[in-house]
Structure 1
Amino acid sequence: MPGGVTALPASSRRSETLGGGSTDLVVPVLKPLKIGDLVVDPPILQAPMAGYTNFAFRQIVRQFGGTGLLATEMVNARGFVWLDEQEATHPDRLWGVAEEPRPLAVQIWDNDPETLAKVGARLAQEYKVSVVDINFGCPVRQVTQRAKSGSYLLRTPDRMGQIIERVVAACHPTPVTAKTRLGCSRDKINIGEVAEIVEQAGAAALTVHGRTAADMFRGEASWDLISQIKPRLKRIPLIGNGDLSTPQQVVEAFTRWNVDGVMIARACLNKPWLFRQAAAALRGEPIPPDPTLEEERSLLLHHFDLVCQRFGEERGAVLMRKYACCYAQGRQGARDFRKQVVEIKTSAEFYDVVRRTFPKA
């Protein structure tokens, strides 16, 4: 049975000081989230994000704790098969997957059931991942228009069902999940129909981002529409995703909206400790403070070292530009730091820019 939540009565509310202010939190009574036979506890998931959630980033998230299930970047199934046929090294997006702790989900994308099934089976049997997730939500043009994949498949829910059925059969007993959006556009919201097809096809869980494909990442995620999906599901859990950036918002997702789990995405890129804070809030415990700026600076340099161990110093310096910008987000002096860090080409330059211009207040 999927997990669920109920709110404690008002007399059981706890008051926590968050960000300098006092906020009454209705602490939910949580059941662990179950994805097939996998227990996800706490029911907080890290979203797969292309270009960001690689092995180095996942190590940073694990360092803080609070995440029930981590995920890789999404993997191009067709590209994986091609590399395999050429006996080449498997994609960088599978860096670390074979050895790192479980549970771990790997997300794959394509529009061909056989290709996805072939890759899913390899991930389940050879890599022994905890969950194989299928991407039906990516809205970027390269995936939708060029490859007719990701959120493009919301136009053909029956095709989604065929894909899920084939991947589920290939991966058994490893659970297969689906991540999607509300629909192609605001006037073509079909997530209710999609949810029923996803469940009937054998998926073990459904994650819904509260925007449409046309929305991209603009506007606000519609949690009201996410909550309306729950009655359409009879056996599998519903995981909500979109605009969760504070512990309070995570608690509210469980107490106000009808979800069994939550997935945190962009907010964790500049706050990888958010999972730990959200997990504490869900337990009714004091919220751990943010790291100091000095601690953040040390964390950034540690992250850089992890990336360089894989890609070398020169390529690592270039790859770390976007992460460095995330670390500085919202800080005084962040603009000057970003302006300089996006130009660095060597590790020496990276260390120098961090030393001189990383925000100090």
Structure 2
Amino acid sequence: MTFPPPPLRIGDLVIDPPILQAPMAGFTNAAFRHIVRQFGGAGLLATEMVNARGFVWMDENDAEHPDRLWGVAEEARPLAVQIWDNEPETMAKVGRRLAHEYKVSVVDINFGCPVRQVTQKAHSGSYLLRDPSRMSAIISRLVEVCAPTPVTAKIRLGCSPESINCDVIARVVEEAGAAALTVHGRTAADMFRGNADWDRISQIKSHLKNIPLIGNGDLDSAEKVVAAFTNYDVDGVMIARACLGRPWLFAQAAAALRGDPVPPEPTLAQQRDVMLDHYQLVVDRFGEDKGTVLMRKYACCYAQGKHGARHFRTHVAKVSTAEEFYSVVREHFPSAPAPVV
């Protein structure tokens, strides 16, 4: 791989730098995306995954569209929206709206979620890795109704270590017309345990003819992003959980890929201020009561890995008003880095 790596092309869309922000349920809403954009470095941002069946129900019952589409109509592009379900026509109804009314940059299909509510109860997400023909039908239908907006797919290596079929699935995804494939380097049964298998991700590239391969899993530093491009046959990378409390990680990774000095971690006081800005955005959208409760999990992410994080989490998990939130942050947000072990 030459450095810096070339821009990633998804259909006619150019992603530069080739660093993507993963869609994460419950986290990657408009407030979080706004914070990431302030720091820069992410070539493509994504919403939380949207339940297509729920979207259709809301549409048919004149209800407000899902909170997970908050901000999508107005915010900067490029932007991807990820959707899930197991019925091609349901997915097509939503994909058509996203592509032609919301005018999103990419419609992504979730074939990777391992959560029981999505897999066992709804037979969607990573459950569909055992049904390549159904996957093909969903992708091809979405490609048809979304054109010229590109449709992409995100998968895992397989349903379990005993049933890894990502090579077969990769060919199915490309032949159905998808414009890119993202692979998380674990199986669904692994959930988030163990290490992502980047060797296995890299091997998938030989099974693709024309579409780019995006690797995902365990990218928690600029150095690991550089190593992914250096050591593995991928066209792009996707950063997930590591960015939730470190939205500046994309800017650090982009600098490293350019060969520029990597920006240092913000000071703890600066990180606290970023978190407070994030809190205000959430409260502006959802109101103080709901916004404060929603912010608890984000606040825990910002404190993760710091000295006193557990103490802070214990207190912030109980807040329900702005006054309580600011008080806990003032008194308990970590003021020193985690000790080196």
TM-score class, shorter-chain normalisation, is over 0.9
Q: Which position in structure 1 is the counterpart of 2:277?
A: 302
Which residue does the alignment assign to 1:290? Answer: 265
Counterpart in the other structure of 1:326? 301
Aligned to 1:231: 206
Deviation at 1:270, TM superposition (A): 1.3
Counterpart position of 1:165: 140
Provide Cα deviations, 1:79-121, integer angstroms capped at 9, x if missing partner.
Answer: 0000000011000000000000000000000000000011000
Residue type of the partner of 2:16?
D
Distance 2:189 2:165 in 1: 13
1:175 corresponding residue in structure 2: 150
Residue matched to 1:156: 131
Rounded Cα–Cα distance in structure 2 between residues aligned with 1:183 and 1:164: 18
TM-score normalised per structure 2: 0.98
Matching residue of 2:339:
none
**Map of 2:230 onto structure 1:** 255
Partner of 2:321: 346
Whole-angstrom distance in 2 between the partners of 1:286 and 1:240? 24
Shift of 1:29: 3.7
Return the alpha-carbon distance in structure 2 between the equivalents of residues 186 and 265 of structure 1: 22
Map 1:100-249 to 2 at 5 A: 100-249=75-224
Match of 2:43 in 1: 68
Alpha-carbon RMSD across the aligned residues, in angstroms, is 0.5
Gap regions ≥5 residues in structure 1? 7-27
Counterpart Cα distance in 2 of 1:221 and 1:341: 31
Unaligned runs of 5+ in 2: 337-341
Distance in 2 between residues matched to 1:322 and 1:181, nearest whole Å: 25
1:78-97 aligned at under 5 Å gives the runs: 78-97=53-72
Using the TM superposition, give the Cα deviation of residue 310 of structure 1 relative to its aligned residue in structure 2, in angstroms. Answer: 0.5
Report whether the alignment pairs 1:54 with 2:29: yes
**Displacement after TM superposition at 1:190 (Å):** 0.2
CA distance in 2, matches of 1:88, 1:80: 9
- Deviation of 1:31 (Å): 1.2
Q: Secondary structure at the match of 1:87?
A: coil
Classify the secondary structure of the residue corresponding to 1:30.
coil
Match of 1:311 in 2: 286
Residues 39-95 of structure 1 deviation map (CA, whole Å, 9 limit, x = unaligned)? 000000000000000000000000100000000000000000000000110000000
What is the CA distance between 1:138 and its match in structure 2? 0.1
Deviation (angstroms), 1:136:
0.1
Whichever residue aligns with residue 128 of structure 2, its letter is: L
The CA deviation at 1:30 is 1.3
* TM-score, with structure 1 as normaliser: 0.93
Q: Helix, strand or coil for the counterpart of 1:218?
A: coil
In the alignment, the residues of structure 2 paired with residue 250 and residue 262 of structure 1 have an alpha-carbon distance, to the nearest angstrom, of: 7
Any idea what the Cα deviations from partners look like across 1:155-209, whole Å, max 9, x if unmatched? 0111101110000001000000000000000010000000000000000000000
**Contact conserved, 2:4 with 2:259, CA < 8 A, in 1?**
no
One-letter amino acid matched to 1:331 = K
Picking from 44, 69, 81, the partner of 2:19 is: 44
Q: State percent identity of aligned pairs.
A: 73
Letter of the 1:336 counterpart: H
Query: Partners of 2:220 and 2:112 in 1: how far apart?
Result: 20
Runs of 4+ in 1 over 2 A off after TM superposition: none
Give aligned pairs, total: 336
Code of the aligned partner of 2:93: K
What are the equivalent positions in structure 2 for 1:7-18 lying under 5 Å apart? none
Which one of 243, 256, 261 corresponds to residue 268 of structure 1? 243
1:280 aligned residue: 255
Q: Distance in 2 between matches of 1:223 and 1:157?
A: 23
CA distances 1:130-158 after superposition (whole Å, capped 9, x unpaired): 00000000000000000000000000111
